[in-house]
Amino acid sequence: MRVMVLNPPSRVIKNVVRDLIYGCWCSGKRIGGASTPPLNLLYIATVLKSAGHEVTLLDAIGEGRTLEYVKSKICNYDCLIISTSTMSFHEDADILKELKSANPLLTTIIFGSHPTFMPGHCLSEESVDVTVINEPEITIRELVEQIGQGDDRWKSVKGIGYTYNGRPIINESRPFIENLDELPFPDRTLLPQSIDYFHPLVRKMPYATMMTSRGCPGSCNFCTVGRFYGKKIRSRSTGNIISEIEIIHSQGYREIFFRDETFTFFKDRNKKFCEELINRKYNLSWIANARVGTIDYETARLMKQAGCHTIKIGVESGVQRILNNIKKGITVENTKKTFKILKEAGIDTHAHMMIGCPGETRETIDETLKFIKEICPTTVTMAICTPYPGTELFDIIMREHPEIGDGSDRKLSNVHVSGYYNQYFTDLSNEDIEKYLKRVYQSFYLRPAYWMKWMGKIRNADDAKRIMLAGLNVFNFALER
């Protein structure tokens, strides 16, 4: 089978990041101007290539390709696979419609959070042939293999949805992949070589993204990770992780961005991993995500020694009542302690924050702003809490307000900088929330002392370019009317 794995172009946003899990974009990626190697698509392309299919990965967003360009290429393919998200779905469906008009024999397959939690809505679009539910790699491999047989046997594949006589059919779910070591290493030679992917936090280019575990035991009511990947954290073995890093190093990558939700969850594995990196002297720097309360000083010191320069943490709010309302499962005091540990270990911190959470008021936003300055992260991003399908928050609102439909909105350009449905769980208007979002960025980033500190961090041309690009993007957002 000839398969195109596509990150679709957008006529609305330059740097769309269709997140596999959350169904949205981190506001910081948009505001900071990040472009990220599409690891989810890379896994799909690699799995299909390993199964003997002829595969092309086209990152139309990263390469700046137009829809017309994609249409000129699509005639040569049997299957088209894309990842789609809640807020991009309508535009993505329109793009699929145009691509199918260019190639009527094309089979379109979509995966991601929106197809997982809203398969019926997705299948109501004529341009969508198959939805893949939850973890996609094994399901898509089996699906494409069966489609290639030329009959209807593909309709029995677990973990998919399709339409029969105008009615959506959702098959039995597929179990999660218990042993992640069974997945092939992503073949990064499939990525377009013309792109210099950029991220404001990444210090050394080129950089690679990597996954070492899946799942989350948390109960955050605004997040879909536990439902998409399961409550149990499934981890790759240390040997398997190091083997992939060896390939990454040999390919000339200088930094790794680990995309695990909680890289630091398994302390023993983390210790072995860091010791291996230190012993092998790859001289790779790296970034990881961590949960409050999962790092002690010994762990942080070892991570720093192994090349970790930044840890990203979901802080969300500086008010305990708000943290309780979103079922975050952390305390304000533990957050302070975690940031103190990382600062003492010499690791930079990035705080993910949210406003417009259930129970939010002007006073709680002011308290959160004070808290940000107290824990003093190196960088911060602020998003507006949005009830996406697959979250408990969405389910609660849907019961009382079914008019929110599939949770999407055609105003793609407003994602995470405009409020959606927040009036149902706060006393604030969408306009108030949007105003406070700008205020947070202005208060944190528009401080001369902050930028003087950053100027002191410039060590080379890469640093200067990174800080200049990110700074201009943040200034433009903070000051625009």
The single-letter DSSP state of residue 413 is: G
Domain span at residue 95? Answer: 2-170
* Interval 404-419: pLDDT, tens: 777 776 454 455 557 7
DSSP string, 271-289: HHHHHHHHHHT---EEEEE
Q: Are 31 and 474 in contact (CB under 8 A)?
A: yes
* Interval 301-325: pLDDT, tens: 999 999 999 999 999 999 999 999 9
* Interval 254-303: pLDDT, tens: 999 999 999 999 999 999 999 999 999 999 999 999 999 999 999 999 99
Are 128 and 218 contained in the same domain? no
Are 235 and 291 contained in the same domain? yes
pLDDT at 30 over 60: no
Number of structural domains in the chain: 2
* Interval 437-480: pLDDT, tens: 888 888 898 888 888 887 877 888 778 878 887 778 777 777 77
Residue 436 placed within a domain: yes
pLDDT at 106 over 50: yes
Q: Is the peptide bond before 206 cis (omega within 30 degrees of 0)?
A: yes
CATH of the domain at 206: 3.80.30.20
Are 75 and 217 contained in the same domain? no
Are 132 and 216 contained in the same domain? no
Q: Are 97 and 69 in contact (CB under 8 A)?
A: no
Are 57 and 147 contained in the same domain? yes
Are 284 and 228 contained in the same domain? yes
Residue 44 placed within a domain: yes
pLDDT at 94 over 60: yes
d(CA 80, CA 91): 16
pTM of the predicted model as reported, rounded to 2 decimal places: 0.94
Residue 398 placed within a domain: no
Are 254 and 145 contained in the same domain? no
Note the pLDDT of residue 362: 94
CA atoms lying within 13 Å on the CB side of residue 420: 26
Q: Which uninterrupted H or E stretch holds 290?
A: strand 285-290
Q: Are 6 and 80 in contact (CB under 8 A)?
A: yes
Within 8 A by CB and 6+ apart from 149, the residues are none
Note the pLDDT of residue 21: 52
pLDDT at 90 over 70: yes
Closest listed residue to residue 158, CA positions, set 184, 180, 179, 176: 176
Are 294 and 241 contained in the same domain? yes
Are 137 and 245 contained in the same domain? no
Residue 128 placed within a domain: yes
Residue 414 placed within a domain: no
Are 100 and 205 contained in the same domain? no
Residue 77 placed within a domain: yes
d(CA 373, CA 354): 15
Q: Which of 170, 188, 213 is the last residue of a domain?
A: 170
Are 86 and 149 contained in the same domain? yes
| CA–CA distances in Å: residue 211 to residues 70, 97, 271 | 29, 32, 17
Q: Rounded to 5 degrees, what are φ and ψ at 37? A: -55, 125
d(CA 354, CA 433): 10
d(CA 364, CA 57): 45
Amino acid at the residue 287:
I
Q: How far apart are the first and last CA of the chain?
A: 50
Residues forming beta bridges with residue 214, ordered by sequence position: 234
Q: Are 350 and 313 in contact (CB under 8 A)?
A: yes
CATH of the domain at 160: 3.40.50.280
